[in-house]
């Protein structure tokens, strides 16, 4: 059976310093070199995902922006991009405006990703996120006076950051709009902060995983995760592994609970399975 192994990044494969440990790097590179089909599915964009994974010898496309697109780390080409329909994008921005919340608008400009924001509406959580991503990964952010002034055709997804009580009513309204889908989940690194990712109704980690399964001719999918946005991935996997630090809903959906992200849970589980003959490479 040809199996594809897919791991989330933040809170799952990455440690609490948002890095891959040397053990995880060495173990996964050895398993990949021996023939394991391994990739990642993350809410991150190509900027930060490629930076944190630069020591990992990935050969398969990555699932980025929560399933909005695939990205080949070898050719640096985006594919299978699920753009938000222009009318849905306009309706979403109108709703966001009514709630007075800041938003990051992710667009694909040719072969480059760009993120637009309104400085006048930026809250502390989003500012910390933007400045951290800029300094650490060189992620490109472009300030604009109004997001509505941007071309609506190339919008990949919209990201909002605030407390859960402030985000939940807007998130539920956006989910009711035609052509949109999304996830509301806790920010892994900031206490009491939540993230709402809004994308095309055709995009999710699960949908992208099924696309990869078909493209690569895989028979089975095995997923690893910790947060609520990993549940769509779990829904299409034959086996589902939640790290010990995963949220309760993710643990409940898992086939098995494995070691925590800070204990290299994913790499150790895969290495042990190969050593025991449960995975044949």
Convert the pLDDT of each residue in 168-211 to its tens digit: 999 999 989 889 998 899 988 888 899 999 999 999 999 999 99
Tens of pLDDT along 77-132? 999 999 999 999 999 999 999 999 999 999 987 667 889 999 999 999 999 989 98
Cβ partners under 8 Å of residue 7, min gap 6: 13, 38, 39, 40, 41, 223, 224, 225, 266
pLDDT, position 243 = 98
Left, alpha or beta for 3 (phi > 0: left; psi -120 to 50: alpha)? beta
Structure tokens at 44: 């991150």
38-54: pLDDT as tens digits: 999 999 988 889 999 99
Cβ-based neighbour number of residue 281 at 10 Å? 11
Name the token pair of 7: 């791991």
Of the pLDDT bands very low, low, confident and very high (cuts 50, 70, 90), residue 136 is confident
- Which residue ranges form the domains of the chain, and what is each CATH number? 3-80+204-275 (3.40.50.1000), 86-200 (3.30.1240.10)
| Matching residue, tokens 């599915």 | 41
C-alpha closest to that of 42 among 23, 16, 21, 14:
14
Cβ distance 95 to 174 under 8 Å?
A: yes
Distance CA 123, CA 153 (A): 27
pLDDT of residue 210: 98
Distance between CA atoms of residues 60 and 7, nearest Å: 13
Question: How many other CB atoms sit within 10 Å of the CB of residue 172?
Answer: 11
Assigned token pair, 170: 């807007």
Whole-model pTM over 0.85 = yes
CA atoms within 13 A on the CB side of 172: 5
Q: Is the pLDDT of residue 281 over 60?
A: no
Tokens read off for 5: 């192994």
Strands 69-72 and 77-79: antiparallel
Three-state secondary-structure class, residue 151: coil
pLDDT in tens, 28-40: 999 999 999 999 9
- 109 secondary structure, DSSP code: E
Instruction: Compute how many other C-beta atoms are within 10 angstroms of the C-beta atom of residue 90.
Output: 14
49-80 burial: b if 16+ Cβ within 10 Å, else e = bbebbeebebebbbbbbbbbbbbebeeeebeb
- Whole-angstrom distance, CA of residue 62 vs CA of residue 59: 9
């Amino acid at each position: 059976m040809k199996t594809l192994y897919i791991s989330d990044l933040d809170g799952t494969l990455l440690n609490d310093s948002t890095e891959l440990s040397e053990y995880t790097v060495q173990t996964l590179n050895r398993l990949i070199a021996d023939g394991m089909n391994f990739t990642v599915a993350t809410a991150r964009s190509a900027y930060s995902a490629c930076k944190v994974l630069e020591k990992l010898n990935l050969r398969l496309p990555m699932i980025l922006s929560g399933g909005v697109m695939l990205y080949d780390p070898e050719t640096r080409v985006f594919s299978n991009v699920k753009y938000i329909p222009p009318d849905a994008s306009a309706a979403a921005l109108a709703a966001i405006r009514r709630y007075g919340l800041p938003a990051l608008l992710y667009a694909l400009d040719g072969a480059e990703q760009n993120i637009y924001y309104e400085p006048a509406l930026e809250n502390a959580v989003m500012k910390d996120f933007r400045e951290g991503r800029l300094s650490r990964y060189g992620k490109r952010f472009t300030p604009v006076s109004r997001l509505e002034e941007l071309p609506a055709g190339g919008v990949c997804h919209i990201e909002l950051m605030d407390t859960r009580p402030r985000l939940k009513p807007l998130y539920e309204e956006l989910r009711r709009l035609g052509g949109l889908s999304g996830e509301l989940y806790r920010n892994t690194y900031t206490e009491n902060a939540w993230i709402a990712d809004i994308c095309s109704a055709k995009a999710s980690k699960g949908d992208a995983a099924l696309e990869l399964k078909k493209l690569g001719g895989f028979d089975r999918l095995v997923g690893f995760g910790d947060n609520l946005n990993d549940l769509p991935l779990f829904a299409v996997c034959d086996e589902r592994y939640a790290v010990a630090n995963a949220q309760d809903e993710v643990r409940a959906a898992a086939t098995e609970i494995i070691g925590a992200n800070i204990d290299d849970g994913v790499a150790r589980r895969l290495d042990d399975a190969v050593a025991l003959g449960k995975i044949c490479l």
